[in-house]
Copies of this chain bind each other. A is one copy, B any other.
């Protein structure tokens, strides 16, 4: 039970079980002293990612460290920084509600042409057209982890047909090896996979070519899962709504900004308002588990020694 805990929110410090010694670190310059006593480090999660490297570099100055707790879903970038004996936990589930509702927002925005209406409003133009519907469309979700399932739950009442694709087939879920056969009948593809060497460029020229005219690709996973050059080469035949891009952000003047049928939002799916109460409640529970010597939740890599 000895050692310091470093985390970012007062609520978690105030709710921490009595034996724990908790200090706040909300980002910015590393604390001057005491890092050598830190056993549990919750890396600050903030809208700004400006000093993200500094927050992770601190790990090298924590010889007593047992647990690194991230609040993001992605964790691959932290693995190379961790000594073997340190356990890594992530923020799986905390971004599901925000990311899933953003995915629905992007799908509906594209089908109902909301960007068109936002621009028309700037010019006092009221020019109705017959819109696409989401109803009756076949929607494929590629990636069936907790966010993919959260998207599916929200899609179900929209009178759509849902096709699930994951790396390996299981009951009710197609394997990625079946992808090409499924694409010709698909109206909307939602990409929600992590970025790995397997998923990089997963959706490229061949996959886009198999989609019918006017299909929509939505990406709320990682930008490099979709091949940007291949999308641009479609010249609007396939539409896209992207919260993540490759490169990210697209530099000013990059053709993605002006590509026909492409709608961009600036990586705002996760980390929205619903994240904060969920993350704070998770940290309260995680600290209670730590204090009680119980197994931690959301372990993505277990340290070579025991947790504590």
Give the B-binding residues of A (Cβ under 8 A).
47, 97-98, 101-102, 104-105, 108-109, 111-115, 117-122, 124, 126-136, 153-154, 156-159, 249-250, 252-254, 257, 263-268, 271-275, 277
Contacts and interface: CB of A to CB of B under 8 A. Distances in A.
Number of copies: 2
Contacts of A254: 124
A134 B132 CA distance: 23
A114 B106 CA distance: 8
A249 B126 contact: yes
A133 B97 CA distance: 8
Contact of A158 (B154, B159, B273): B154
A49 to B, nearest CB: 9
B97 A159 contact: yes
Contacts of A127: 266
Nearest to A127: B266
7 contacts: A47-B128, A97-B133, A98-B133, A101-B112, A109-B109, A114-B115, A115-B117
Contacts of A265: 112, 114, 117
A112 B257 CA distance: 19
A133 B101 contact: yes
B263 A132 contact: no
Contact of A101 (B108, B156, B252, B273): B108
Contacts of A129: 47, 268
B249 A130 contact: no
Nearest to A153: B157
9 smallest CB-CB distances across A and B, nearest first, come from: A126-B249, A133-B274, A105-B108, A115-B118, A135-B274, A97-B135, A118-B118, A131-B272, A124-B252
A128 B268 CA distance: 6
Give the interface centre of A130, A157, A253 by most chain B CB atoms within 10 Å: A157
Contact of A157 (B118, B133, B154): B154
A254 B101 CA distance: 33
Given A158-B101, A265-B117, A257 B124 contact: yes
Contact of A136 (B117, B118, B121, B277): B277
A143 B155 CA distance: 23
Contacts of A47: 128-130
B272 A132 contact: yes
Given A104-B108, A114-B114, A274-B135, A120 B159 contact: no
Contacts of A124: 250, 252-254, 257
Contacts of A97: 133, 135, 158-159
